[in-house]
Amino acid sequence: MPSLEGTRARRSPGRRQWTWIGLAAVVVAALVVTLVLVLPRGTETTGRQVAERKTASEAFPGGLAEQPEAENQPGKRESEARADGDDTTARKIAVIADEPIATWLTNTSVSETRQTIRDVVRSAERQRKTPVFVLYNVPDRDCGSYSKGGTAADEYLPWVRSAVRAMAGSRAVVLVEPDAIAQIQVCKRLEQDRLPLIRKAVDELSGHGLTVYLDGGNENRVPTATMAKWLREAGVDRVQGFFTNVSNFYRVDQERAYADRLADAIGGDPHFVIDVSRNGQGWRGTWCNPDGAGLGQAPHVTRGSTRLDALLWVKTPGLSDGTCNGGPAAGQWWESYALGLVENRKQD
């Protein structure tokens, strides 16, 4: 029978081995906890370089600028109505005209686009507020549908470059090409060239003091994982984030929930903005001039406690979505529809 002392001697190496294994497990666990707490969401294992996002107040210094008279289409119609003595119509249209509305850049002319930008920027500087621009001139725009058009393929990046030079230093917010990414889901011919082109546009927009958001579609268009993948390929890691619901009608709570899911899927905490120009009555069964739609809540910058930076009027209320449901051509003023939006507006 072995002595007790000999038994202890034979057992000691095993005990030391388990002790070291236990210590190693503690160290690994501590390291995992540190990584989870310290690294931004979405970057733990990818190693992606993600831009530092601004706060809402940094993204929209001074708040939202109103459009100058030359660019404010509802404002022009309000003035015409007053000149005609139709004060009732003028008062209703003023409900739209008096709010900050984004300025869409759709003209393929480089010189005219630059002039529009300068006018809007000068007006915003006088107000000490932030102008919001929408680039909407991508080749094969709207996949040939109601808003078809855009530049030639070899003219797009020079057009973007020229627009950026006119905006540089203005601290403007730029929404890049509504539908340009989400539409790939139903227009497969866009799949090969569209995302690399948007990424090149991001290259042009970067480094000029601008705040940029890319097309995030809406809650009912593209599976979240697919949209996240496309946005990463388009360069969302290098910009402030993405926008949702542009020219659409989904409620804020629905779109915000979708945008948070999309941001989580992208990783790195991208921020987002939501178009609320016509969502006062929520989804009405179609995206194209639906009956019964109403103005959404007043556009404003948030307090910055979440990833939602602002609720914007991106689509100009009163402009047609296209020749559907009795509307005129896309982008044309449709007064009866505008008055309906005012009548059905969301009451804050």
The predicted structure's pLDDT at residue 171: 97
Split into its structural domains, the chain has a count of 2
- Which helix or strand (DSSP H or E) is residue 311 part of? strand 308-312
> Domain for residue 44, yes or no?
no
In whole angstroms, what separates CA 328 from the centre of its chain?
Answer: 27
Mean pLDDT for all residues in the chain:
89
Say if residue 27 is in the same domain as residue 66.
no
Residues with active-site annotation: 142, 179, 321
In a domain, 224, yes or no: yes
Verify that 70 and 185 share a domain, yes or no.
yes
| Interatomic CA distance for residues 328 and 315, integer angstroms | 16
Note whether 250 and 217 are within 8 A (CB): no
The predicted structure's pLDDT at residue 2: 35
Which pLDDT band, with edges at 50, 70 and 90, does 22 fall under? very low
What are the pLDDT digits (tens) for 223-267?
999 999 999 999 999 999 999 999 999 999 999 999 999 999 999
Structural domain span for residue 32 = 1-38
* Same structural domain, 2 and 115: no
- Give residue 82's pLDDT: 96
pLDDT at 43: 41
Query: Quick check: 110 pLDDT over 70?
Result: yes
Least confident of 19-28, 125-134, 178-187: 19-28
Closest CA to 173 of 233, 119, 124: 124
Average pLDDT over residues 277-283: 97
| pLDDT score of 4 more than 90 | no
The lowest-confidence range among 43-52, 104-113, 139-148, 326-335 is 43-52
pLDDT band (50, 70, 90) for residue 333? very high
Q: Is 294's pLDDT higher than 70?
A: yes
User: Please, which pLDDT band fits residue 46 given cuts at 50, 70 and 90?
Assistant: low
11 in a structural domain: yes
Reported as a pLDDT band with limits 50, 70 and 90, residue 346 is confident
**CATH number assigned to the domain comprising residue 109:** 3.20.20.40
Whether 131 is covered by a domain: the verdict is yes
Do 237 and 109 fall into the same domain?
Answer: yes
CB hemisphere CA count around 322 (13 angstroms): 11
Clarify whether residues 228 and 333 are in a common domain.
yes
| Residues 221 and 299 occupy one common structural domain | yes
Q: Is residue 51 part of a domain?
A: no
pTM over 0.85: yes
Contacts by 118-124, CB closer than 8 A, 24 or more apart = 118/166, 119/68, 119/70, 119/71, 120/65, 120/67, 120/68, 120/71, 121/166, 121/167, 121/170, 121/172, 122/68, 123/65, 123/66, 123/67, 123/68, 124/65, 124/170, 124/172
Whether residue 131 sits in one domain with residue 20: no
Q: Is residue 160 part of a domain?
A: yes
Task: Say if residue 5's pLDDT is above 70.
Answer: no
Q: Are residues 64 and 142 in the same domain?
A: yes
pLDDT digits (tens, 9 = 90+) for 25-40: 444 444 433 333 333 4
**Quick one: pLDDT band at residue 348, thresholds 50, 70, 90?**
low
Same-domain status, 160 and 26 = no
* pLDDT tens string 145-191: 999 999 999 999 999 999 999 999 999 999 999 999 999 999 999 99
348 domain-assigned:
no
Identify whether residues 80 and 34 lie together within a single domain.
no
Same domain, 186 and 263: yes
Say if residue 206 is in the same domain as residue 241: yes
Res 20 pLDDT > 90: no
pLDDT attached to residue 252: 97
> Is residue 50 domain-resident?
no
- Residue for token pair 């044309």: 332
Do 179 and 137 touch, CB atoms closer than 8 A? no
Instruction: Note the pLDDT of residue 347.
Output: 79
**pLDDT average, residue stretch 293-322:** 97
